[in-house]
Structure 1
Amino acid sequence: MTSVVITGKRYLTHPEQADKFGPFDKVYLAEGDSWMDASAAAQGSLPFYLTEEFNRRGKTHLIINISTARQTLQRIAETMSGDYLWWLKQLPYDGVLFSAGGNDFIEAARGPAPGQGLLRDMQGQPPPVDGYDCVRQPALKQLLDDYLNPNFEAVYQALRASSKNAATPMYLNGYDTPVARNAPAIQGLVGPWLWAAYRKNHIDASLWPQLTRGLFKDVKAAVNGWSAGRAGVKLVATTDVLTPASPTSTGSSGDWKNEIHPNASGWRKQARIWADLLQ
């Protein structure tokens, strides 16, 4: 017997590929963004390394992974009639492993025209004393109040409305703080993210460390806020765990594979914290 992670689609068509390693002591459902993404074989993902950690501890657990790279919380909430709701009806789980919020912040910084999203356009402006002052606070409030918080509430209420999972705990990814740098996941196709957003908004590189720390403090506060007053919702405290990357590196550095995703050593550090909490 051993622990296994398998995509939801694969488990539907070939359940024997996972079940042959059972019976399983615990079954988890993984949903969310690229930190959970089942398709990120080259990059790695938390469920893969969490399964590795379970096996190291002699556990026999199953993770059914329905996550998608570049997924935002808004899109998860808008498409809940798909995989998420369907899988909640199929099995009782020992926990839902959930990662969302980080992409919403990045998309709000990177996507809109300069000065129209989460960041101020600093072209021709005197640099602030603190890099975090480059954040447009009204845009941050709108992101939280109009998108993140109500969309998480929808995801949470769907879990609680599930007859099989009304009391199932949900574990929230706390992320960690990356370093803005020109380190894409796929050169010319995927990333970099913060580096592109900061350059697009003409933010001086000397301000990037403070700005990134401030933004990911906001990410953590938002995710932590989702656990407040909601039964069974727990933040997995993984902030300030990973060794930072060099800001001049363009590939794997420290505990980071690229600008915003851990490498193998980083994933293993994260997985140990998750496994401790899940056990």
Structure 2
Amino acid sequence: MDHLACFSPDDLRSKPALLEGQRWRLLAQGDSWFSVAAAQAHGSLLQELMFKQPAVAVNCAGSGDALSHMVDLESAPEFVRLLTAADAPVWDGILLSVGGNDVIAAAQTPAHLEDGSAVPLEKRLLRRQTEWGPPSAGVARYFSEPGWATFAEYLKTNLRHLLTLREQGPSAGKPIFLHCYAVPLPRPAAASDGRGPWLYPTLKAYAVPAADWLAVSRLMVMHLAQLLKSLAADKENFPGLHVFDSTAVPLALAAPGSTGISGDWHNEIHLNHSGSFKIGRAWSDAIDAVFNKPVKPPPAPGRRGAASAA
């Protein structure tokens, strides 16, 4: 097993031969789970991928604002160029880390704007206390299904656009690999660059009881996982999309109220190296299975008229 070798687009420009001799050549783009920027001290999922044959990835994941809304490809011109340009390499697959930061950003949408006007339910993921459903609904009482419908359509639209871009370039028809996310415990643990925490202040602002924070976090992560898996199952509209269910990988939760590295987590929403190792190894096996899937031979021609006779 070999670690995935990761390079930047700048590396590729200066050393185009770095793709030579590799069995699998991958293009990567994503949110902070893929970032290897110096400011991101947490583990990178890409660096924990391992394959049975030599593999290399050109990673376009950046840092800062570009990570907040990854599926908005306007913020990723380098990735789009390497996917669509006529002289771009032919990639064996595309690795994506999408939706996680987008869900966090959607959850952070406040109930009211600065001028005091209310934000409609269809534009946020959480409900104000006066909008909560009955206790019998469980933690779903805090969740805005109209807001989720808006978010789901946003994500689907951008992934359809991504597939269209794939078909425009030299890598048409190549597989696109996505992962789901793990369930973070909302807690006051910011990133080393001062960003965050993310869910902790949001759930406090919406007055969600602390005893329900983890369950609300799980609800949002599971909604995203189910959405991504449903798109991968829709082979007609999302051909070549492969989704790995990271929620099935057992991870150690962070301790409630902890402010730093705890369990398999570096901060509130990012994995540390042990967490990335666990998910990365499992995802690697799933990707390898797609790459090494036996090709079915074409059916043998039957006798003329055999089908009608049957």
Check whether TM > 0.5: yes
Look up the match of 2:180.
Answer: 174
CA drift of 1:173 comes to 1.2
Alignment match of 2:207 (pick from 190, 202, 205): 202
Q: Partner residue of 1:263?
A: 272
- What is the total number of aligned residue pairs between the two structures? 266
Counterpart check, 1:63 vs 2:63? no
How far did residue 276 of structure 1 move? 0.7
Q: Tell whether the 8 Å contact from 1:32 to 1:71 is kept in structure 2 after alignment.
A: no
C-alpha separation in 1, matches of 2:265 and 2:275: 6
Does the alignment pair 1:221 with 2:226? yes
Counterparts of 1:131 and 1:182 in 2: how far apart (Å)?
21
Q: Distance in 1 between matches of 2:3 and 2:125?
A: 44
Structure 2 CA distance for partners of 1:121 and 1:234, relative to 1, 3 Å: same
Unaligned runs of 5+ in 2: 113-117, 289-310
Distance 1:25 1:3 in 2: 11
1:125 Cα deviation from its structure 2 partner:
6.8
User: In the alignment, is the contact (CA less than 8 A) between 2:4 and 2:46 conserved in 1?
Assistant: no
Instruction: From the superposition, tell whether residues 195 and 2 of structure 1 become closer, same or farther in structure 2 (CA, over 3 Å).
Output: closer
Contact 2:132/2:142, CA 8 A, preserved across alignment = no
Tell me if the contact between 1:66 and 1:83 (Cα under 8 Å) persists in the aligned partners.
yes
Question: For residues 179-198 of structure 1, what are the structure 2 equivalents within 5 Å?
Answer: 179-186=185-192, 189-198=194-203
What secondary structure does 2:26 align onto? strand
Kept after mapping to 2: 8 A contact 1:132/1:215:
no
Larger radius of gyration between Structure 1 and Structure 2: 2
Give the corresponding residue for 1:253: 262
**Matching residue of 1:120:** 127
8 Å CA contact 2:68–2:105 kept in 1: the answer is no
Which AA in structure 2 matches 1:210?
A: A
Post-superposition offset of 1:85: 2.0
Question: Could you say if the C-alpha distance between residues 5 and 123 of structure 1 is closer, same or farther in structure 2, counting changes exceeding 3 Å?
Answer: same
How far off is 1:126 after superposition? 8.8
Match of 1:100 in 2: 98
Distance in 1 of aligned mates of 2:255 and 2:95: 30
CA shift digits 1:168-227 (9 cap, x unpaired) = 10001111111111111136x211111121112121111212211111111101211221
Note if 1:84 corresponds to 2:71: no
Deviation of the 1:248 alpha carbon: 2.1
- Structure 1 residue 23: Cα displacement: 1.6
Instruction: Determine the C-alpha separation between the residues in 1 that align with 2:3 and 2:253.
Output: 33
1:70-122 CA distance string (max 9 Å, x none): 2424422x346x11221013111111011111111111111334573211122
Secondary structure of residue in 2 paired with 1:140:
helix
Percent identical among aligned pairs is: 29
Contact 1:119 1:136 in 2 (8 A): yes
Q: Which residue does 2:240 correspond to in 1?
A: 232
Q: Give CA-to-partner distance per residue, 1:120-144, whole Å, 9 cap, x none.
A: 1227979845223111111111111
